[in-house]
Amino acid sequence: MSARVGVGYDVHQYATDESRVLVLGGVRFPGEKGLSGHSDADVVAHSVADAMLGAAGLGDLGVYFSDQDERWKEADSLDLLARVAQLVESEGFKLTNADCTVVCERPRLVGSREEMMRKLSAAAGGPVHVKATRPEGLGALGRQEGIACMAVALLESVAS
């Protein structure tokens, strides 16, 4: 079997619409400022999906789920990730594992990481690990202007 690696990155600024709910890794964070985006703006699910698409040589999330397409307005990003897993599988690959790092000052993710990993893993069809780091006040993320996430995914080809 052959293996392929892909890298994903996503960043969204905070929304000015106070009704937006923050969603990270499929977990809702009530009381936190939501992110701006066409879908639910889940940077964690988006970065994992992009890493998987990259590893399979299938482009990026915007190719399949354009922010110009009303079908994807306020879409659940875990659903988008599950669709990406199906695309990847149709190309003869399966997720071996993914690892991602969320970059934000808040919220603190320590109490939600396990739930995030469960939800992401179920949608992606393989284990997804989540870590977090704070930018320590540096740059746009440190000024709490948004949240970013980096991910790497390892896919293995599967026998047909």
Where in the sequence is the domain holding 15, given as residue range(s)? Answer: 3-157
Q: Which two structure tokens, joined as six digits, stand for 51? A: 């890493």
CB 156 within 8 A of CB 2: yes
Each residue's pLDDT tens digit, 109-156: 999 999 999 999 999 999 999 999 999 999 999 999 999 999 999 999
The band of 1, judged by pLDDT with boundaries at 50, 70 and 90, is: low
The CATH number linked to 42 is 3.30.1330.50
> Cα separation of 142 and 21, whole Å?
20
Each residue's pLDDT tens digit, 24-54: 999 999 999 999 999 999 999 999 999 999 9
Residue holding tokens 């052959």?
A: 2
Q: What is the SS3 assignment for the chain?
A: CCEEEEEEEEEEEECCCCCCEEEECCEEEEEEECECCCCCCCHHHHHHHHHHHHHHCCCCHHHHCCCCCHHHCCCCHHHHHHHHHHHHHHCCEEEEEEEEEEECCCCCCCCCHHHHHHHHHHHHCCCEEEEEECCCCCHHHHCCCEEEEEEEEEEEECCC
Number of domains in the chain: 1
Considering the entire predicted model, what is its pTM? 0.95
149: CB partners within 8 A, 6+ apart: 8, 9, 10, 11, 43, 44, 46, 47, 100, 101, 102, 103
